């Protein structure tokens, strides 16, 4: 097991998930429910399942698309989302 890759993945996903819509939805479910362990387990299993799908899809895409192009496309997507976010904040 590559601990460096694991730590980098953990840090990146952890920081990306802070304050996102998934965390806010989980916070809302926990606030509305007395079954907090059920909310925790449900959200944890959902994150694990979506991560498994991402790993499987990433492996499949890497067989067809060179990783460099995949990284470039992801980078451009993040830049586009950032520009869109800044533009929509101006008009609000």
Dist. CA 27–CA 73, nearest whole Å: 32
* Cβ pair 56, 62 in contact under 8 A: no
Digit-coded pLDDT (tens) for 31-74: 999 999 999 999 999 999 999 999 999 899 889 999 899 889 98
| pTM of the shown model | 0.68
């Amino acid at each position: 097991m590559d601990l460096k890759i694991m730590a980098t993945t953990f840090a990146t996903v952890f920081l990306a998930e802070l304050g996102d819509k998934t965390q806010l939805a989980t916070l809302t479910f926990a606030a509305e429910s007395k079954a907090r362990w059920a909310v925790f387990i449900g959200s944890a299993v959902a994150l694990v399942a979506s991560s498994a799908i991402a790993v499987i899809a990433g492996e499949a895409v890497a067989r067809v698309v060179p990783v460099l192009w995949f990284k470039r496309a992801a980078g451009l997507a993040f830049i586009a989302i950032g520009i869109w976010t800044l533009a929509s904040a101006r008009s609000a």
